[in-house]
């Protein structure tokens, strides 16, 4: 791939900005055109990027393209992961699925629904916590609404344990391996769900990027 400012999707070439031989000088309007087109390919013709969401998308783009100046202005630390919060149906999961395509040279993260991780724990036990605490980049989808885990009669706050493992990994790898998450919950609700210790680790692990709580449900 000679020019990282260009991406080909469905036989169409999209420009994300200009490449000066070393760096891509990104153009946000061009990025939006690409994301709209890629979103339609991924999720179907009904997909669209809403004007009301462009500010959130702009922050996410700064993060993923590692635009240090704009990240600093927005209070985003490129070394941490992203915790994308917002009401049900505002498009968090779609955006996290979509944005990794913006930077094809970065190691992609997989999306893992938290309830599936808990179901896995119920069958396989603590091996699941080890598996998800490992060295793959990951985005935990729908954090905080998963059920409590139960294996051989013992209850376990599975995602709380997984987050503690990911925090240890973050410290060991100096943030080379990213952990992301989406959630419908606010900070107080997350603390109630996982306790103060996990919540304080989450502050170190994630940049919080939040939709307005009145954002429309796009699935209606």
Check the CA dihedral 44-45-46-52 and report its sign: positive
- Weakest-pLDDT range from 74-78, 145-149, 209-213: 209-213
pLDDT at 18: 92
Q: How far apart are CA 210 and CA 212, in angstroms?
A: 6
- Cα separation values, 203 from 53, 90, 164, 191, 200, Å: 24, 23, 12, 11, 5
Q: Which residue has the tokens 């606010």?
A: 186
Check: CB of residue 155 under 8 Å from CB of residue 196. Answer: no
Q: Does domain 73-210 have CATH number 3.40.50.300?
A: yes
- Cα separation values, 175 from 77, 140, 167, 171, Å: 11, 17, 9, 7
The band of 133, judged by pLDDT with boundaries at 50, 70 and 90, is: confident
Q: In this structure, what DSSP letter does residue 4 have?
A: T
pLDDT at 175: 64
Q: How many CB atoms lie within 10 A of CB 1?
A: 8
- 106: tokens are 């970065």
Query: Is residue 217 over pLDDT 80?
Result: no
pLDDT at 28: 93
- Cα separation values, 128 from 27, 58, 115, 145, 158, Å: 41, 35, 12, 18, 9
Q: Exposure string (b/e) for 15-48, b if CB count within 10 Å is 16 or more?
A: bbbeeeeeebebebeebeebbebbbeeeeeeebe
Query: Is residue 219 over pLDDT 80?
Result: no
Q: What is the pLDDT of residues 52-111, one digit of tens each?
A: 999 999 999 999 999 999 999 999 999 999 999 998 888 899 999 999 999 888 888 999
Q: Where are the domains of the chain?
A: 73-210
Query: Is residue 46 over pLDDT 60?
Result: yes
Q: What is the pLDDT of residues 151-203, one digit of tens each?
A: 988 899 999 999 999 999 888 877 678 999 999 998 889 999 999 999 999 99
């Amino acid at each position: 791939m000679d020019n990282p400012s260009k991406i080909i999707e469905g036989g169409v070439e999209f420009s994300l900005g200009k490449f000066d031989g070393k760096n891509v000088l990104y153009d946000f309007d061009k990025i939006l055109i690409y994301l709209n087109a890629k979103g339609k390919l991924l999720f179907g013709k009904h997909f669209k990027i809403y004007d009301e969401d462009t500010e959130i998308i702009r922050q996410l783009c700064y993060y993923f393209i590692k635009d240090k100046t704009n990240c600093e202005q927005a209070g985003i630390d490129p070394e941490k992961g992203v915790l994308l919060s917002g009401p049900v149906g505002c498009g968090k999961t779609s955006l996290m699925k979509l944005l990794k395509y913006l930077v094809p040279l970065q190691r992609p993260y997989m999306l893992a629904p938290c309830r599936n991780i808990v179901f896995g724990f119920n069958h396989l036990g603590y091996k699941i916590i080890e598996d998800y605490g490992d060295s793959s980049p990951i985005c935990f989808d729908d954090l905080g609404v998963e059920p409590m885990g139960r294996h051989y009669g013992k209850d376990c706050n599975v995602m709380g344990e997984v987050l503690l493992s990911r925090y240890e990994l973050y410290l060991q790898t100096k943030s080379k391996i990213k952990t992301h998450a989406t959630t419908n919950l606010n900070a107080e609700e997350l603390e109630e769900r996982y306790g103060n210790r996990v919540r304080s680790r989450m502050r170190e692990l994630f940049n919080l990027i939040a939709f307005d709580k009145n954002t429309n449900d796009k699935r209606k």
